[in-house]
Chains A and B, each alone.
Chain A
Amino acid sequence: MKKGGLFLVCLLCSLALSPVFATGSKESQGPEQIELRFLGMAQAAYSEQNVNDMTADFMKEHPNIKVYTEFVPYEELRNKTLLAYGSNRPYDAVLVDDIWFAEYVSKGMLRDITDQIPTSYKKGGLAGGWNFTTKQGKVYGVPWFLDTMYLYYNTTMLKAAGFQQAPTSIEDMVAMGKALKEKWIVEYPFVFSLAQAEALMCVYSNFLEAYGASFQDKNGKYTLDTTGVQALEFLLQLKENGLLNPNSLEYLEEDVRRVFSSGDAAFTLNWAYMFALATDPKESSLKKEDVGVMVLPGASGIKESAAMSGSMGLSVLAKSPHLEEALAYILYLSSKDVQDTYSNLQLPVWTASYDDPKLREGRELLVEASKKAFSIMNVRPSEPNYQEASAILQQYIQSALYGDIPPQKALQEAVQKISEIK
């Protein structure tokens, strides 16, 4: 009994003293340890490895912050963000596509960081970047990459068909495609990512721009059933004339990259990341001099060039208890030094970077094209219901491309369906 009583006293003493020791040990560790959770994208642009390397460097500079990164494919990024936000463990910082900012802001998910953006960021960044992260005059994110779909063309194929210059208009491009097919240089000169996914919307949006049309009028009312027919008819014509690779209807961006890099297409639309991979011998059968890149030319007499934004930004979620640290993290990822270091697959959002000879070296065409694109690029509809509207449009555009419904009727039905969204 005596031994038992002594043991009990010792146990009680140690329990009573443990908080004291615990506090002492905590104080000796220095500032409070913060844990951040970041959700990014597992595909193009900055690779997972890139982001993890950037994050590791950030943690070295901020030893009190531990950042856990997670990556999901683009198709799952929005759903994962929304689901996590509705749960008890939302992320602190997330990657946001330009088409989602309106929805997230309308749901109150993003922190207003207007007053926390350093002046150097506001002045040094390309203006196009702040446009899509700003809603109703308030900034809800920092631009991480500006991107647009570029027209990639095979210069060697064009030269073999007698064309020394890149196309100057849509009509010029189609004429080149026809010549390439007639001369048996390539079976299907065009390949586009037209699978039932957002990729289809991006391609269609580019041609919509090329024909000087747009999704909505100034009041936000969809006018695609009248303005968008020409662009859809153009794609259908390409398919019916045997100029468009028929597999385009199941292709995403990575698929068209492989087809183009294998030398099985003369023209395609894709993001900036493709340039490095199409000229990389490990990833492509093409030589560097085979790969031409430019902004999509417009239709004759309507537009000189066309581009559509596929940019993304970094935001702090409103539920994050660590605003300061999360903001520091996203500002670090988008800082000029970091972006310049990892500019291989993704061009920086900083104006000054474009004058850097190192950045331009070996990809002068891409840098020139991006400078032009970023000054003219338009955006897909920015509205809370975009995701659902996009799904409807994808279905009807595909139906028209399969020849199930005439283009005009397809767009009329799509616009009608969009107007019925609850």
Chain B
Amino acid sequence: MSIAEARKCNVLIVPMVVIMGTMIGWPLLQTFFLSFTDTTLMGLEPAGFVGWQNFVDAFHDDGFLSSLKVSLLFALVVVTSEMVLGTSVGLLVHQPFIGRSLVRALLILPWAVPTVVNAIMWRLIYNPEYGALNSLLFQLGIMKEYTSWLSNADRALPSIMFADVWKNFSLVALITLSALQTLPLSQIEAAKIDGAGAGQRFFYITLPHIIPSLQVALVLRIIETVKVFDIIYIMTKGGPANKTRSGSIFVYQEAFTNSRMGSGSAFAIIMVALIMILICMYLRVLTTKRSS
């Protein structure tokens, strides 16, 4: 490519850089600057520079720390469940069986449901008076009386986790399925001829083939679950007694309910840093494994 052509290319990239800078870069920068100030929501009083104080306060704030724990627990349980369930279902629907096309079409439905709709739907399912779950468990004889799911401090978070897994495992299943469809059959046949068992074929051929696709799903889901807000906010608003309050809900409350944009921004920056650290750790482990 000549220098003139390279210049032309650079000029063509400019609109994209401007748009990305305006839409993503500027708000991020502004949040970063806000985190070092004591800005309030409406900014009626001039904001003061407070240095690292907001960050120091964050690590002494019990509410923030407990909400981070909720986010991390949510991410750990939900992502693990979705990866295991989604991969298993993807492998199953890859096998030939009658009605496979219908099952594959149905598989996309939970993921296609908007999160808000999913949350409202599960809130109704969990309703202690007329919810379908109580009715089902009661009729099957599993439960002797109707119970509260979202107002019980021990059951609320697992109930929300289940609702999230129900919605998102199909994404992992679909990614698995698409990866499996690019796996050459000849490799499996050759392995069979060489006497490899089902387990060996899975661990030495199938799994290595789908892992790169699963990595994408994993990173996406880690980001989504650590910053979880909508499903929890709609189902419990962080209750009962803050037992389901995630880091993002805490940030929202600090910035908007308590009107403290400065410390709210600092909490948000910490959340972003946490997500980045988790992804870096994961990629590092992966790179080490690959090179070994």
Contacts and interface: CB of A to CB of B under 8 A. Distances in A.
Interface string B251-290: 0010011111000000000000000000000000000000
Contacts of A251: 151
A258 B238 contact: no
B257 A387 contact: yes
Interface residues of B, number: 23
Interface in B233-261: 236-242, 253, 256-260
Contact of B129 (A107, A259, A396): A259
Contacts, number: 73
B257 A264 contact: no
A85 interface: yes
B41 interface: yes
Contact of A404 (B237, B239, B241): B241
Nearest to A79: B256
Contact of A395 (B129, B236, B242): B242
A78 to B, nearest CB: 8
Contact of B42 (A82, A248, A394): A82
Interface string A27-64: 00000000000000000000000000000000000000
A396 B241 CA distance: 7
A195 B43 contact: no
A388 B256 CA distance: 11
Dominant SS among interface residues on chain B: loop
Q: Which of B44, B236, B260 has the most CB of A within 10 A?
A: B44
Contacts of A195: 151, 237, 239-240
A85 B242 CA distance: 29
Interface in A368-418: 387-388, 391, 394-396, 398-399, 402, 404
Contacts of A391: 253, 257
Q: Which of A75, A258, A396, A398 has the most CB of B within 10 A?
A: A398
B112 to A, nearest CB: 26
Contact of B257 (A79, A109, A250, A399): A79
Nearest to B258: A388
Given A82-B259, A86-B43, A258 B253 contact: no
Given A196-B242, A398-B240, A107 B257 contact: no
Contacts of A394: 239
Contact of A388 (B41, B239, B257): B257
Contacts of B239: 195-197, 250, 394, 398
Given A83-B41, A248-B151, A250-B148, 4 more contacts: A196-B238, A247-B129, A396-B241, A404-B153
9 contacts: A195-B237, A196-B237, A247-B129, A247-B151, A251-B151, A258-B129, A387-B258, A402-B153, A404-B241
Interface of A: 75, 79, 82-83, 85-86, 107-109, 195-197, 246-251, 258-259, 262, 264, 387-388, 391, 394-396, 398-399, 402, 404, 422
A-B complex: 8 closest residue pairs judged by Cβ atoms: A196-B239, A250-B151, A86-B42, A398-B241, A249-B151, A247-B128, A399-B241, A388-B258
